């Protein structure tokens, strides 16, 4: 049995709506009124009020009576995921070493739907920092880590990705057709790493390498990003790729020794 | 109107239960069966199944038919909080400089109920790393950041904290009475920083300093932690506290210039 909106009969709509209320808060909107939340979620004011007050009861939201804001307790939910994953923590010392070697920020991400999601990151402090933290998402088609992760999919998975993804143009260089993307991924598979030059944002260059589990499946990607003004394409290939591949190998070695890898691998 | 369990009539029980299902997953239990989730949450198997399948629909949980696990999408929820806060990101370069100066991991946390919650952290890689990430919680009474945050409460807030907290004994040195804790907090207020020596865990020493907003309210704490084998109490006071206080001052200066601080401050 499937309901009108295509969800199964098991679907708990109140949970979906409550999670939408949490996601209504964000970088540009850390404080919202009841009306703001109703507008952002498409709920009635009465429904939005019930969800917000429930979240206040549970300690996930605080309010001064007019404005609502998330509390640090919301981090518990993401922490439930992060603490169960060996990779994010295991990768950190390797990212630190990599960032120290190349003087640039480095990250690990996984594929989630059509996005890459950052699960581990070491930021190098600069005057202009890039606002990326664990949990940040970017469309896979426009990022080096996305290319590496997509190159690791089998044919059926890649077909499903292309059916779901919109391949939006984010800069003049973004790959926006399935044919071009398939060609780029074929090169990544042969080469063993990906370079994306200003396809996500003007001025941003990034190289990425796959992290494989013991069965050889690509489970994550590691990258180093730089600014076009600091790093030419030639310098990226020459100076960033070798330390990146070495870091990926060290992360894979550590990952192969985790209990989960032994159990499933 | 209040229901039997003390919740207001507005309370959306399905949302509370769904969030409990997410929190059932964790470091030791990244993969759970339907029965595991029912047991951990106190739900019936039928109810647990509805919540799990709803979370699968929404992309927060994946399943192979038997085992369920959280996906990286869960990070979106915590990200909704983190991206709205200026402090975690703003503090990072200062934590990096601090950790580089003293060769130890440093963190920023906020008070949430009776716990401190880590919102920003720079880990120094060592053979024995401490498994702490953004979102980690520790009881405030046993940590240096907790002492700094509790010392910043007014009398009514501190009374409410002591009424709610259990002051569990975690090591032989943990402060477990309200009287002793009040005395320790009075010293922290005079001194301007806190040192906690193996009260959370044997071997763990930590110093913390308050981060104040423009109105002088303590809004967060910054710390440096070390092992007793590496750092004597005297060395902690002499070598860790001055760079810590300098980092706190730099974070406060940056925080005072954020738009939110200008708006509310």
What's the confidence (pLDDT) of residue A223?
97
- Among the partner residues B15, B31, B73, nearest to A112 by beta-carbon distance: B73
Chain B: closest CA distance from residue A161 (Å): 15
Contact assignment for A18 to B19 by CB distance below 8 Å: yes
Residue B78 token pair: 């915590």
Buried b (16+ CB within 10 A) or exposed e, A164-194: ebebeebeeebbeebeebeebbeebeeeebb
pLDDT tens, chain B, 265 aa long: 445 455 677 889 999 999 999 999 987 888 999 999 999 999 999 999 999 999 999 999 999 999 999 998 888 888 778 877 888 888 888 998 898 899 898 999 999 989 999 988 887 765 445 567 778 889 999 999 999 999 999 999 999 999 999 999 999 999 999 999 999 999 999 999 999 999 998 888 999 999 999 889 999 999 999 988 888 999 999 999 999 999 999 999 998 887 654 344 3
Contact assignment for A18 to B18 by CB distance below 8 Å: yes
Could you read off the pLDDT of B194-209 as tens digits, one per residue?
999 999 988 889 999 9
Contact assignment for B75 to A260 by CB distance below 8 Å: no
- Among the partner residues A16, A50, A72, nearest to B117 by beta-carbon distance: A72
Q: How far apart are the first and last CA of chain A?
A: 37
Q: What's the gap between Cα A5 and its chain centre?
A: 28
Contact assignment for B11 to A53 by CB distance below 8 Å: yes
Q: Which residues from chain B sit within 8 angstroms of residue A119, using beta carbons?
A: 72, 75
The rounded distance, in Å, linking the Cα atoms of B120 and A4 is 43
* Residue-averaged pLDDT of chain B: 89
The rounded distance, in Å, linking the Cα atoms of A95 and A108 is 8
The rounded distance, in Å, linking the Cα atoms of B135 and B143 is 15
Reduced to 3 states (helix: H, G, I; strand: E, B; else coil), residue B23 is: helix
Q: Which residues from chain B sit within 8 angstroms of residue A77, using beta carbons?
A: 19, 22-23, 74, 77-78
- Among the partner residues A26, A59, A112, nearest to B84 by beta-carbon distance: A26
- Strands B106-112 vs B218-227: parallel, antiparallel or unpaired: antiparallel
The rounded distance, in Å, linking the Cα atoms of A152 and A185 is 9
Contact present, B104 and B240 (Cβ < 8 Å): yes
Q: Which residues contact A156 (CB under 8 A, 6 or more apart)?
A: none
Contact assignment for B74 to A72 by CB distance below 8 Å: no
Question: Phi then psi for A44, rounded to 5 degrees?
Answer: -70, 160
Q: What's the gap between Cα B236 and its chain centre?
A: 22
- Most B CBs within 10 A among A77, A92, A113, hence the mutation to make, goes to A77
Q: Which residues contact B56 (CB under 8 A, 6 or more apart)?
A: B62, B63, B68
Chain B: closest CA distance from residue A148 (Å): 17
Chain A: closest CA distance from residue B180 (Å): 28
Q: How many CB pairs under 8 A join A and B?
A: 222
CB atoms within 10 A of CB B2: 9
Chain B: closest CA distance from residue A216 (Å): 20
Q: Which residues contact A49 (CB under 8 A, 6 or more apart)?
A: A34, B10
Residue A95 token pair: 């990212």
Reduced to 3 states (helix: H, G, I; strand: E, B; else coil), residue B245 is: helix
- Among the partner residues A24, A27, A84, nearest to B30 by beta-carbon distance: A84
What's the confidence (pLDDT) of residue B144?
98
Contact assignment for A81 to B89 by CB distance below 8 Å: no
pLDDT tens, chain A, 265 aa long: 445 455 677 889 999 999 999 999 987 888 999 999 999 999 999 999 999 999 999 999 999 999 999 998 888 888 778 877 888 878 888 998 898 899 898 999 999 989 999 988 887 765 445 567 778 889 999 999 999 999 999 999 999 999 999 999 999 999 999 999 999 999 999 999 999 999 998 888 999 999 999 889 999 999 999 988 888 999 999 999 999 999 999 999 998 887 654 344 3
Question: Phi then psi for B121, rounded to 5 degrees?
Answer: -160, 140
Contact assignment for A260 to B79 by CB distance below 8 Å: no
As for the ipTM of the complex, it is: 0.77
The rounded distance, in Å, linking the Cα atoms of B95 and B144 is 16
For residue A63, list its beta bridge partners.
A68
Contact assignment for A27 to B84 by CB distance below 8 Å: yes
Contact assignment for B22 to A80 by CB distance below 8 Å: yes
The rounded distance, in Å, linking the Cα atoms of B251 and B231 is 25
Chain B: closest CA distance from residue A95 (Å): 10
Residue A263 token pair: 């159990």
Q: Which residues from chain B sit within 8 angstroms of residue A110, using beta carbons?
A: 72
Question: Phi then psi for A235, rounded to 5 degrees?
Answer: -65, -35
- Most B CBs within 10 A among A6, A12, A37, A264, hence the mutation to make, goes to A12
Contact assignment for A83 to B26 by CB distance below 8 Å: yes
Reduced to 3 states (helix: H, G, I; strand: E, B; else coil), residue A51 is: helix
Give the residue on B whose Cα is nearest the Cα of A24.
B80
Domains along chain A?
13-76 (1.10.10.10), 84-264 (3.30.450.40)
Reduced to 3 states (helix: H, G, I; strand: E, B; else coil), residue B94 is: helix
- Most B CBs within 10 A among A75, A123, A126, A264, hence the mutation to make, goes to A75
The DSSP 8-state label assigned to residue A262 in this structure reads H
Give the residue on B whose Cα is nearest the Cα of A30.
B84
- Among the partner residues A24, A55, A78, nearest to B75 by beta-carbon distance: A78
Contact assignment for A133 to B80 by CB distance below 8 Å: no
Could you read off the pLDDT of B160-180 as tens digits, one per residue?
999 999 999 999 999 999 999
**Strands (DSSP E) found in chain B:** 61-63, 68-70, 106-112, 115-122, 137-139, 194-197, 204-212, 218-227
What's the confidence (pLDDT) of residue A219?
94
Contact assignment for A72 to B129 by CB distance below 8 Å: no
Contact present, B172 and B182 (Cβ < 8 Å): no
**Strands (DSSP E) found in chain A:** 61-63, 68-70, 106-112, 115-122, 137-139, 194-197, 204-212, 218-227
Contact assignment for A89 to B133 by CB distance below 8 Å: yes
């Amino acid at each position: 049995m499937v309901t009108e909106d295509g969800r199964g009969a098991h679907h708990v709509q109140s949970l979906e709506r409550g999670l939408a209320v949490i996601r209504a808060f964000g970088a540009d909107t850390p404080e919202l009124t009841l009306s703001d939340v109703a507008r952002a979620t498409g709920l009635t004011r009465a429904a939005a009020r019930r969800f917000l007050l429930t979240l206040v009861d549970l300690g996930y939201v605080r309010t001064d009576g007019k404005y609502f804001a998330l509390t640090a307790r919301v981090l518990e939910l993401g922490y439930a995921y992060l603490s169960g994953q060996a990779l994010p923590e295991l990768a950190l010392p390797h990212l630190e070493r990599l960032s120290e070697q190349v003087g640039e920020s480095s990250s690990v991400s996984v594929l989630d739907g059509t996005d890459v999601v950052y699960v581990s990151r070491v930021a190098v402090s600069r005057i202009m920092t890039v606002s990326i933290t664990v949990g940040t998402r970017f469309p896979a088609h426009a990022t080096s880590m996305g290319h590496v992760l997509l190159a690791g999919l089998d044919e059926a998975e890649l077909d499903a990705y292309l059916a779901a993804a919109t391949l939006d143009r984010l800069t003049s260089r973004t790959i926006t057709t399935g044919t071009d993307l398939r060609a780029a991924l074929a090169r990544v598979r042969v080469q063993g790493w990906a370079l994306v030059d200003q396809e996500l944002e003007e001025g941003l260059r990034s190289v990425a390498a796959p992290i494989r589990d013991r069965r050889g499946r690509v489970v994550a990607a590691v990258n180093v990003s730089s600014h076009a003004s600091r790093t030419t394409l030639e310098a990226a290939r020459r100076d960033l790729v070798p330390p990146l591949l070495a870091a990926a190998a060290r992360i894979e070695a550590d990952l192969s020794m985790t209990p989960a890898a032994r159990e499933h691998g």
